[in-house]
Structure 1
Amino acid sequence: MKLSFPHPIIILLGFIILAALSSYFIQSGSYERVLDLESGREIIVPGSFHSIEDRNASIYDIALSIPEGIILGADVVVLILLIGGAFYVIEKTGALQEGITALIYQFRNRQYLLLYIIGLIFAFCGATIAMQEELIALAPILILLAKKINYDVRAIVAIALGSALIGASFSPVNPFGSLLSQTIAELDFNEGFAYRMVFLILAILIWCGYHIKYGKLKTPSEEAIKLKPAKISLQHSMILFLAFGGIVVMAWGIVYKDWGYNEMSALFFIVGISCGLIGKMGINGTARAYTAGFGEMIFAGVIVGLARSVYLILQNTSIIDPIIQGMFQPLESMPTQIAALGLYLSQALIHLPVPSTSGQAVLTTPLAVPLMDLLGVSRQIAVLTYQYPAGVMDLIAPTNGGMMAVVAAAGIKYNSWISYLWKSWLLLMALGLISVFIALFWFA
């Protein structure tokens, strides 16, 4: 029997089982936590780690974590279904096909410029609102774009999703990453802003440049050859205006109205129905298309839920804090540069069991700050060694449900994604590490 690479669901089930088995080898423990009034979050009290009654995950706990994880991520799952359904309806009207064809024709002699613009737009979204799950519904657009301009779909997904994740990772203004960590570290927002901006620009240019160069397919596809001038009809213009206007309104709601997943879901439900009616699909036709869109997105929703299940097991067995303690404690006696490298790599590994960047900031920054004080270096190093590896790990970590869902929705196998991405991923990890080493002197 020929062996094949595991299905994404099998990979995540494997991580759930691995998390449960780890509870038998790691003594449960916990840090004391206090409420930080400025950030409104509970943060760890350094030096307060202590062992507690050992908690081990049973087979019952493993089985129960699967539906509980999906329920825990219900708001994200609903968002995926409703946005996915909306874009499926929009795709069925033919507006996306027509719009992308017209856009590509305008940039027919400057495709690289089009891809840089796409990368910068998604990088901006990542840097400001940490966009990730919202990209799941855009998978059909990315697939269509890849076919039209004769690119590997993995390269187009990397330029879109990757730019958003890298923007979030290197951003000086990401409220769920660097800003949160700086607040916990009691650092001024303005300190290090220009420094981070320089490396953010470098990261996006390197990332997009790599995939624009190496993502082009050598054999022309039929759709690329048949590219012809296209004029967007009034009807399709209205649909595209509603669709991308919805994305703008969503960004506005997140930034200025503190919108959550429910508000975003409601917005795109209205957008999807409206576009179907404008596209003359009729009430029943729109409903049928929306329902078919649910079917396309349900797998992505389950992936997000299973990723939550891994964290749920680790949280319920109280082994997250011992893992962090075990990684950070040995760094106290190391030379500054080695300690910075160790902290950088530790934060990358910690992101596997703690796939939430904001959760990781809250867990690790209070521990990294005293370590920096002890070593006599700027607290900025504590923030940089968290924000870069945590964000870049989002590109490959199978416990990151958002990335796994986008890749799955684009029809890309996880092993194919990793085999294509690993070189550019190493480039970005190296860039982040270079930034940390320079920062040791820059913020001295």
Structure 2
Amino acid sequence: MTDEKKRKRKFQFPTAFTVLFIILIIAAILTYIVPAGVYSKLQYNADENAFMVENHLGEVTTLPATQESLEELNIPMNIGKFIDGSMKKPIAIPGTYQRIQQSPQGLLPVIMSPIEGIMDTVDIMVFVLILGGIIGLINKTGTFDAGIAALSKRTKGKEFLLVIFVSALIALGGTTFGLAEETIALYPILMPIFIASGYDAIVCIAAIYMGSSIGTMFSTVNPFSVVIASDAAGISFSEGLVFRGISLVLAMIITLMYIYRYAQRVKNNPKASLIYEEKDKIETRFLKNYNPENVIPFNWRRILILLIFLAAFPLMIWGVSRGIWWFPEMSALFLAVAIIIAFLSGFSEKEAVNTFLEGAADLIGVVLIIGVARAINIVMDNGMISDTLLYYTSSIIENMNRGIFAAVQMILFSFLGFFVPSSSGLATLSMPIMAPLADTVGVSRAVVVTAYNWGQGWMAFITPTGLILATLEMVDVTYDKWLKFILPLMGIIGVFSIVMLVLQSI
């Protein structure tokens, strides 16, 4: 058998789409196996200044919005958190779980779910497509190539400082306001710089994605995770804050050391790269016009284009961190940037528009993956199995030893995080149920909040329903190569987190 035939017969890991569809089918099968059930839910109605309680039959009753009502329902929260708008999502009521009629998701719901997923995530898709259009425009002006050449001269021999700077900055955003989806904008910019510096695409993914993941996992004051979870647990988010801050720094050091070890190995020997076989393909995509021997001048036009583009990022971060912006506002910002760059590019109207459209078209695969990933969550939500999983997991940890309780909590939250990927959604669903269990074993409820945050964040390293598959599609890296890189670090961070949780519970 010839070498060519052997290569053809060699197993190829399925694409991101196939991985997601396999998980989608598994999720649909689970809706036949896992019993359907729900907790009664409580939500505050600001117009009537009253609590609306919906039971497992869908019947709604009204209660006065008072602290006494919360105490009668065994919800460990302050009434002020509802009145000031901190708690907007429905809260699960402890002790109200009820089995309901099974809601299996058959062939038609499964086929419809990707369409619903695309419709549900259209705001993210528009953002990504506009971003792709901007990248197409900037690439054609030669701005990135000129910038790479200028940066390469300044960072010669100190390339890893870029990894440290990027990861630390993104982790800071993650721990303070949950910087995650917004980082998609950084890959087309930083990928050429990392590759030109002698690293591979995995180093760039690790610097950005793990910076975000470590930051959000070890959140300190993130209002969308640790703050809302603390509120739902009936404690102040300042409880355990110093401990979480120390853990964040240590976890970031561990992660950077791991990335450094791999990055230096690749820099010294490109064949050591996990994606060496795709090296030419990736370099052709991201460095197609870059030639270190033929340096493109970094003239005033290119400098101005780059400055305008980069200025959009602190503005975006300001908008998101202030809580007034989300994807529609971010999309509008980058659309305005695209129009300005089109004028500055010197292209004709037709050339500028066509270049923008070609750049957007390059990210069609990415946006479709985002929609299909959402389809998995839709199938599980419609199957009514999330509350059942919470009910069974909460019964596992009752009356455990304190140290074991903390460790098992994190593992269970990792499991629940796959089925409820929304950090705020998991907090409001699980905290009223899980937090009081800490009282029964004699540990602080802050331990449960930490376990929730770390467990959900830890699973996000690899969760296909999260951002990772869209990220990998953007940079032409397959999921199996990412798993090969990240699983050892995932194990290290997992052990570190459990040890720290046990220390917190003592």
Question: Which TM-score bucket, shorter chain as reference?
Answer: over 0.9
Alignment deviations for residues 215-264 of structure 1 (CA, whole Å, 9 cap, x no partner): 23233699899489886321111111111111111111112251121010
CA distance in 2, matches of 1:101, 1:205: 29
Query: Which letter maps to 2:262?
Result: Y
CA distance in 2, matches of 1:229, 1:82: 28
Match of 2:447 among 357, 362, 381: 381
1:432 paired to 2:480: no
Contact 1:31 1:45 in 2 (8 A): yes
1:423 paired to 2:488: yes
Contact 1:80 1:133 in 2 (8 A): no
* Structure 2 equivalent of residue 214 of structure 1: 262
Q: CA deviation at 1:406?
A: 1.2
Alignment coverage as a number of residue pairs? 440
Range that drifts further, 131-140 or 330-339: 131-140
Q: CA deviation at 1:125?
A: 2.1
Range that drifts further, 74-83 or 218-227: 218-227
Residue 377 of structure 1 aligns to a residue in which SS?
coil
Determine which structure has more spread, i.e. the larger CA radius of gyration: 2
Mapping of residues 359-378 of structure 1, within 5 Å: 359-378=425-444
Q: CA deviation at 1:282?
A: 2.7
Alignment deviations for residues 179-231 of structure 1 (CA, whole Å, 9 cap, x no partner): 11111112223222222111111111221221122123233699899489886
CA distance in 2, matches of 1:257, 1:389: 25
Match of 2:189 among 141, 166, 169: 141
* Structure 1 equivalent of residue 89 of structure 2: 41
Match of 2:460 among 385, 394, 403: 394
Match of 1:323 among 383, 389, 393: 389
Alignment deviations for residues 77-121 of structure 1 (CA, whole Å, 9 cap, x no partner): 111111222222222222122223322321212222222111111
What are structure 2's unaligned runs of at least 5 residues?
Answer: 1-8, 45-81, 271-278
Q: CA deviation at 1:312?
A: 0.5
Residue 90 of structure 2 aligns to a residue in which SS?
strand
CA distance in 2, matches of 1:171, 1:227: 44
Match of 1:23 among 14, 20, 31: 31
Contact 1:84 1:136 in 2 (8 A): no
CA shift in 2, pair 1:83/1:364, >3 Å = same
1:150 paired to 2:198: yes
Match of 1:70 among 118, 137, 144: 118
* Structure 1 equivalent of residue 12 of structure 2: 4
What are structure 1's unaligned runs of at least 5 residues?
Answer: none
Q: CA deviation at 1:2?
A: 4.6
Query: Which letter maps to 2:28?
Result: A
Contact 1:81 1:301 in 2 (8 A): yes
Q: CA RMSD in A?
A: 2.1
1:238 paired to 2:304: yes
CA distance in 1, matches of 2:398, 2:109: 36
Alignment deviations for residues 283-315 of structure 1 (CA, whole Å, 9 cap, x no partner): 222211111122111111111111111111111
Match of 2:231 among 167, 183, 191: 183
1:94 paired to 2:142: yes
Q: CA deviation at 1:351?
A: 1.6
Contact 2:89 2:428 in 1 (8 A): yes
Residue 363 of structure 1 aligns to a residue in which SS?
helix
* Structure 2 equivalent of residue 81 of structure 1: 129
Query: Which letter maps to 1:185?
Result: A
